[in-house]
């Protein structure tokens, strides 16, 4: 694997060109928030590596080669599978917090009605529901 394959700036440039179909250096520079000179340097390295091709039609633009398309699709597949599992795990940690939050709301409602004991029972119940739901979903996701 080449050094440019490991640099996130190069993979970002490849992704931008892939999304746009063809990309002008000015457009890539504005999307990344860097100077045109910095983009020209990186585009030259990508051309030399065989990931993109330089074309002219009144202005210079770049398109992906088959090698560049392979890199972008490989990276997007890797990130998609990682992101899917990470998103599930990240969302899962909020389940107990949701249960506790609903319990606090219930407690507040019953205190306002003058029945603090029912509010405490509601708080405990919602907290238990949140914890049980967390472990249940964690078990289902890990299958």
The fraction of the chain above a pLDDT of 90, given in percent, is: 46
* Mean pLDDT confidence for 49-68: 91
Q: What is the pTM of this model?
A: 0.53
- Residue carrying structure tokens 């597949």: 77
Q: What are phi and psi for residue 59, nearest 5 degrees?
A: -135, 160
Q: pLDDT tens digits, residue range 14-48?
A: 989 998 989 999 999 988 888 999 899 999 999 99
Note whether 86 and 128 are within 8 A (CB): no
Quick one: three-class SS letters along the chain?
Answer: CCHHHHCHHHHHHHHHHHHHCCECHHHHHHHHCCCHHHHHHHHHHHHHHCCEEEEEECEEEEEECHHHHHHHHHHHHHHHHHHHHHHHHHHHCCHHHHHHHHHHHHHHHHHHCCCHHHHHHHHHHHHHHHHHHHHHHHHHHCC
The pair phi, psi for residue 65, each rounded to 5°, is -90, 175
In the predicted structure, residue 1 carries a pLDDT above the cut 70: no
Among 9-13, 66-70, 88-92, 102-106, name the one with the lowest average pLDDT. 88-92
pLDDT confidence tier of residue 12, bands split at 50, 70 and 90: confident
Angle between helices 25-32 and 8-20 (to 10 degrees): 120
Does domain 3-73 sit in CATH 3.40.309.10? no
**What does pLDDT average to over the chain?**
85
pLDDT at 93: 82
pLDDT score, position 3: 67
Domain chopping of the chain, boundaries: 3-73, 93-141
- pLDDT score of 59 more than 50: yes
């Amino acid at each position: 694997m080449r050094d440019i394959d490991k640099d996130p700036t190069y993979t970002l440039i490849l992704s931008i060109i892939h999304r746009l179909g063809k990309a002008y250096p000015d457009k890539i520079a504005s999307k990344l928030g860097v100077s045109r000179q910095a983009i020209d340097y990186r585009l030259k390295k990508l051309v030399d590596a065989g990931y993109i091709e330089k074309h002219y039609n009144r202005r210079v633009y770049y398109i992906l080669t088959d090698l560049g398309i392979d890199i972008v699709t490989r990276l997007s597949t890797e990130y998609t599978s990682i992101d899917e599992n990470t998103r599930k795990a990240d969302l899962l940690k909020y389940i107990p917090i949701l249960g506790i939050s609903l319990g606090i709301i219930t407690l507040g409602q019953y205190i306002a009605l003058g029945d603090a004991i029912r509010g405490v029972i509601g708080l405990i119940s919602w907290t238990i529901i949140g914890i049980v739901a967390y472990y249940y979903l964690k078990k289902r996701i890990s299958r």
